[in-house]
Amino acid sequence: MAMLAPATPKSWYLPSKPHKFCPGCGHGITLKALGEAIDELGIQQNTIFGCDIGCSLLAWNFFACDSTQTHHGRTTPVMVGIKRARPELISIGYMGDGGGYSIGSQHLLNSAVRNEKVTLILVNNTNYGMTGGQMAPTTLPGQITETSPYGRDVEATGYPTRGPEFIAELTPEGAYVARATVSKYKQLRRFIRNAIRNQMEGNGFSFVEVLSTCPTNWRTNAQQTWNFLEEKMEEYFPVGEIKNPLGKGDK
Amino acid sequence: MDNIIGEPKKAFMTGNETVAWACLAAGADIMFGYPITPQNEVMHYWTRLAPKYNRGFLQTEDELSAGFTTCGAVQAGKKAFTATAGPGNVLMQEPFGMAEAMRLPLLAVIQQRGGPSSGTVVYSQQEVTLTTYGGNGEGHRIVYSTATHQEIYDYVIKGFNTAWKYRFPTFILGDGYQAKMREPLEMYDPKDKGIEMTPAYPLIGVPGQIGKDREPQHLCNIYSLEEELYDVVMKVAAEYEAIAPGLVEYESKYCEGAEIIIVSHGVVSRAADDAVKILRNQGIKAGYFRPITLRPFPQQQLRQCIAQSNAKQLLIAESAYGQLERLIKQEIYGETIKIDNLFMPGVGIIDFDIINKVKSII
């Protein structure tokens, strides 16, 4: 019986497959959605993909698109510099929650305020994966990590960052802001596509946070992983489009 | 390129204004910057000039961002520059490190202010170590230390060419005095001096269709294996060392038969030049040596100067506490000449200071 191979986005760079993410990691799903969005929009040839340091770095040669790397937290200004220099290019930054909300938060915040015409995709897995599972700005209250071994104490470390909500407050009209989850693939792909379209139409800053999974550092099995995503994370971090200048009814 | 200046003409302006005009004449496409004294007027003049010549500007949220946006613009194939000072220079060492690692030909103008920390907003030569060897790398960068506004103008133009020809980040090391004082200079379009500007070209967003004409560009800045990084750094080091002899610039005067050679750089070399002339008039055989490039350093030339003069003493004069001295000592290791110093960290040095020091040590 012939095996049906899963469809591979045209914009993927096949020599770098299979990819290097851990089993059960949500990056692969997110990058598939991004690849399909790039294909649908027909922008592979003029997309610049830039990834942060951390697990997102493993995507550095993921696409058959011109791609660049920088330092932890600095993807946003690099992608802004590229877009400012060559507005005809589609500038897509890819980062984790540590890079975006912690060390690079000043860049995220100010590029949002300036309504920079870039698309940023931030993968939120509630911890610093690459460095071994430390507490992140998005770690849930009580969640155990390597640097919150007794559970995140909100008195000492504050509450988890709700990124899209603060970015929605900061951005003017024209910005696209959404939170997606790897548990709802079609919606994830639609949000990413909208965030790219919004840049292509020159409307403004475009941001998608993607709720994702990290079984390696969460130390969870498949069932526990999915439960944590769908029950704990999606409860704390509401999924949906907060700002969409493209209008309703885009399916 | 635009005819910016027209016929070469005399001007009387501040060093910061000179930077802006020189960047314009050199064909710079875009500046990214963040306010810090004493470089602010570079941005002030650039923002007035840039729109008239279809050039870009972005005031970023901090110096990290100014440096990294500059890196991005350079990767996209544009002549991009920034300017900073003091604590801003500290922050920019992070993006400058990326530029070193990825061979990004950015141009940065450093107008040194007093340090450590916030120090003063006025003047110093205390950013020599940072500008030459800052960052978590090997100092593979090109640093021109200017002394006059004419040199600021000339070396900004030259700096863009050096950067784009060799793909090393290039620095124009000035200071608060040079930034703020006014003096005469000649402005010109490079072509009128026979200077051909090296064209910029992109590393990403390059011509050709991916999958048909070419492979995708996957720029790499982090390595999995020790050996991979080793190969990269050794290759960069070899390339840097190969071009270094052609890049070094210096000035040497009155060294032949000198008893004492005064070594200084930047604006202090103007005081040294005056001091040497006065000392010579008074019968004291003083010589003058000034590195113009601090990276790469004209070490061979300084060694020759020592050898040919038979001088017994070297006096290092700087507005810092030994930053130039450390650079010199590492570069002329093995020389037995006695080294004295005039360290005036964060303070201006005039001919009188140098003359007094010379008289006290010979």
pLDDT in tens, A94-136: 999 999 999 999 999 999 999 999 999 999 999 999 999 999 9
Name the least confident of A6-10, A89-93, B11-15, B290-294: A6-10
A1 — pLDDT class (breaks 50, 70, 90)? low
Residues B54 and B180 in one domain: yes
CA dist list (Å): B116 to B112, B187, B344, B346: 11, 35, 14, 9
Rounded to an integer, the average pLDDT of B304-316 is 95
With 60 as the cut, is the pLDDT of residue B63 above it? yes
Peptide bond into B38 cis (omega under 30): yes
- What per-residue confidence (pLDDT) applies to A251? 46
**B315: closest CA among B333, B296, B328, B299?**
B328
Residues 6+ apart with CB under 8 A from A134: A127, A128, A145, A146, A147
**Hey, are the CB atoms on A66 and B209 less than 8 Å from each other?**
no
Tokens of B292: 């113009």
Element (H, E) at A188: helix A185-200
Residues B43 and B188 in one domain: yes
The per-residue pLDDT of chain B, averaged, comes to 97
How many domains does the structure of chain B reveal?
2
Contacts of A71 in chain B (CB under 8 A): 68, 94-95, 97-98, 221
ipTM score assigned to the predicted complex: 0.93
- Nearest neighbour of B30 by CB, restricted to A70, A78, A84: A84
Rounded to an integer, the average pLDDT of A18-39 is 97
How many residues belong to chain B?
362
- Nearest neighbour of B72 by CB, restricted to A57, A61, A79: A79
Q: What pLDDT digit, counting tens, does each position of B183-234 carry?
A: 999 999 999 999 999 999 999 999 999 999 999 999 999 999 999 999 999 9
Residues B65 and B187 in one domain: yes
Contacts of B78 in chain A (CB under 8 A): 85-86
Tokens of B320: 């810092």
Q: What pLDDT digit, counting tens, does each position of A47-58 carry?
A: 999 999 999 999
- What per-residue confidence (pLDDT) applies to B249? 98
Tokens of A112: 């949002």
In a domain, B238, yes or no: no
Rounded to an integer, the average pLDDT of A9-38 is 97
Q: Would you say B144 and B293 are in contact if contact means Cβ atoms under 8 Å apart?
A: yes
**B71: closest CA among B62, B63, B80?**
B80
CA dist list (Å): A52 to A121, A166, B202, B221, B232: 11, 21, 21, 11, 21
Residues B32 and B125 in one domain: yes
Q: Specify the CATH number for the domain of residue B62.
A: 3.40.50.970
With 90 as the cut, is the pLDDT of residue B98 above it? yes
- Nearest neighbour of B211 by CB, restricted to A64, A106, A110: A64
Structural domain range at position B66: 9-193
- Residue in A closest to B218 by C-alpha: A67
Give the closest-approach CA distance of A235 to chain B in angstroms. 33
Residues B24 and B103 in one domain: yes
Q: Would you say B172 and B108 are in contact if contact means Cβ atoms under 8 Å apart?
A: yes
In a domain, B24, yes or no: yes
How many residues belong to chain A?
251
What is the distance between the alpha carbons of residues B215 and A45, in angstroms, rounded to a whole number?
11
Q: Percent of chain B scored above 70 by pLDDT? A: 99
With 90 as the cut, is the pLDDT of residue A4 above it? no
Q: Which of residues 39-58 of A touch B (CB under 8 A)?
A: 44-46, 48, 50, 53, 57
Residues B155 and B29 in one domain: yes
Which value, in Å, is the radius of gyration of the alpha carbons in chain B? 21
Residues B57 and B178 in one domain: yes
What is the distance between the alpha carbons of residues A25 and A13, in angstroms, rounded to a whole number?
19
- What per-residue confidence (pLDDT) applies to A248? 66
Residues 6+ apart with CB under 8 A from B17: B41, B45
Residues B65 and B189 in one domain: yes
What is the distance between the alpha carbons of residues B180 and B122, in angstroms, rounded to a whole number?
9
- Nearest neighbour of A77 by CB, restricted to B68, B97, B202: B68
Residues B166 and B262 in one domain: no
With 60 as the cut, is the pLDDT of residue A250 above it? no
With 70 as the cut, is the pLDDT of residue B59 above it? yes
What is the distance between the alpha carbons of residues B80 and A86, in angstroms, rounded to a whole number?
12
Residues B36 and B173 in one domain: yes
Give the closest-approach CA distance of B67 to chain A in angstroms. 8
What residue spans of chain B are helical by DSSP H? 15-26, 40-49, 63-75, 86-102, 128-133, 149-166, 176-180, 226-247, 268-281, 299-309, 323-331, 351-361
Rounded to an integer, the average pLDDT of B243-258 is 96
Give the closest-approach CA distance of A69 to chain B in angstroms. 6
Element (H, E) at A217: helix A215-218
- Nearest neighbour of B30 by CB, restricted to A65, A71, A85: A85
What is the distance between the alpha carbons of residues A63 and B160, in angstroms, rounded to a whole number?
33
**Hey, are the CB atoms on B217 and A45 less than 8 Å from each other?**
no
Q: Check residue B53 and report its DSSP letter.
A: G
**A180: closest CA among A163, A166, A202?**
A163
Element (H, E) at A33: helix A27-41
In a domain, B149, yes or no: yes
In a domain, B239, yes or no: no
Q: Check residue B345 and report its DSSP letter.
A: T
A40 — pLDDT class (breaks 50, 70, 90)? very high
**Hey, are the CB atoms on A66 and B222 less than 8 Å from each other?**
no
In a domain, B126, yes or no: yes
Contacts of B203 in chain A (CB under 8 A): 68
Q: What pLDDT digit, counting tens, does each position of B31-45 carry?
A: 999 999 999 999 999
With 90 as the cut, is the pLDDT of residue A5 above it? no
In a domain, B211, yes or no: no
Show which residues on chain B lie within 8 Å of chain A, measured between beta carbons: 29-30, 32, 56, 58, 60-62, 64-65, 67-78, 80, 94-95, 97-98, 202-206, 209-211, 216-222
Q: Percent of chain A scored above 70 by pLDDT? A: 98
In a domain, B198, yes or no: no
Rounded to an integer, the average pLDDT of A17-21 is 95
The per-residue pLDDT of chain A, averaged, comes to 96
Contacts of B217 in chain A (CB under 8 A): 66-67
Is the minimum CB–CB distance between A115 and chain B shorter than 8 Å?
Answer: no
What residue spans of B167-210 are helical by DSSP H? 176-180
Domains and CATH numbers, chain A: 19-243 (3.40.50.970)
Residues 6+ apart with CB under 8 A from A203: A117, A174, A175, A176, A245, A246
Give the closest-approach CA distance of B4 to chain A in angstroms. 21
Q: Would you say B24 and B18 are in contact if contact means Cβ atoms under 8 Å apart?
A: no
Q: What pLDDT digit, counting tens, does each position of B154-169 carry?
A: 999 999 999 999 999 9
Give the closest-approach CA distance of B136 to chain A in angstroms. 12
Rounded to an integer, the average pLDDT of B244-258 is 96
Q: Would you say A195 and A119 are in contact if contact means Cβ atoms under 8 Å apart?
A: yes
- What per-residue confidence (pLDDT) applies to A130? 95
Question: Mutating which of A38, A58, A82 best tests the B interface, going by the most B Cβ atoms within 10 A?
Answer: A82
- Residue in B closest to A61 by C-alpha: B218
- What per-residue confidence (pLDDT) applies to B310? 87
**Hey, are the CB atoms on B68 and A68 less than 8 Å from each other?**
no
**Torsion angle (degrees, nearest 10) of CA A172, A175, A181, A187:** 130
In a domain, B208, yes or no: no
Residues B174 and B259 in one domain: no
Residues B304 and B164 in one domain: no
**Hey, are the CB atoms on A81 and B209 less than 8 Å from each other?**
no
**Hey, are the CB atoms on B72 and A107 less than 8 Å from each other?**
no
Q: What is the pTM of this model?
A: 0.96
**Hey, are the CB atoms on B76 and A63 less than 8 Å from each other?**
no
With 80 as the cut, is the pLDDT of residue B1 above it? no
Q: Specify the CATH number for the domain of residue B258.
A: 3.40.50.920
